[in-house]
Amino acid sequence: MSLLGLITLVLHGALAGMYYSFSMSVIPGLKAIDTDAADLAMRSMNRKILTPWLFVPSFGAPILALISGFFAEGSSALWFFAAAAVSFAGSLIVTVIVNVPLNNSLDSTRIGFAEFHPRWNTFNILRTVSSVASLVLVGGGLAG
């Protein structure tokens, strides 16, 4: 088992856990409080999450899966390439095309939390499922 493969696995696990926790606790928790408080809290989270600790797994997971595929042998390479594709399409692209623009709309007060959360969470669930699938695919690459 390579160190590169293990780092790839950890990055995919971090993304899956983050997306899962937002869908299962953060958004439901915010839906249970006053809308103005939810607006303020989500805006604050959206600003505070923009750190290298977010960008490393967000960009690193699909990139390292792709690199791992080039270094892997036999069928393991296919597992890593599949993980890279699923991670890129289902997590990174969805984030850039849907979730970030929604975050920006909330931050600029063009929309409120009541408008924001249904679409945002739907696509966050897609990111969660994609990240868990990518995690499994990386595991297949490591096991292969």
pLDDT by residue for the chain (144 residues), tens digit each? 589 999 999 999 999 999 999 999 999 999 999 999 999 999 999 999 999 999 999 999 999 999 999 999 999 999 999 999 999 999 999 999 999 999 999 999 999 999 999 999 999 999 999 999 999 999 999 998
Find the farthest-apart pair of alpha carbons in the chain and give their distance in angstroms, rounded: 54
Q: What is the pTM of this model?
A: 0.94
Tally helices (H) and strands (E) across the chain.
8, 0
What is the spatial distance between Cα 30 and Cα 40, in angstroms, rounded to a whole number? Answer: 10
CB atoms near residue 119 (< 10 Å):
13
Cα separation values, 67 from 5, 85, 109, Å: 9, 12, 40
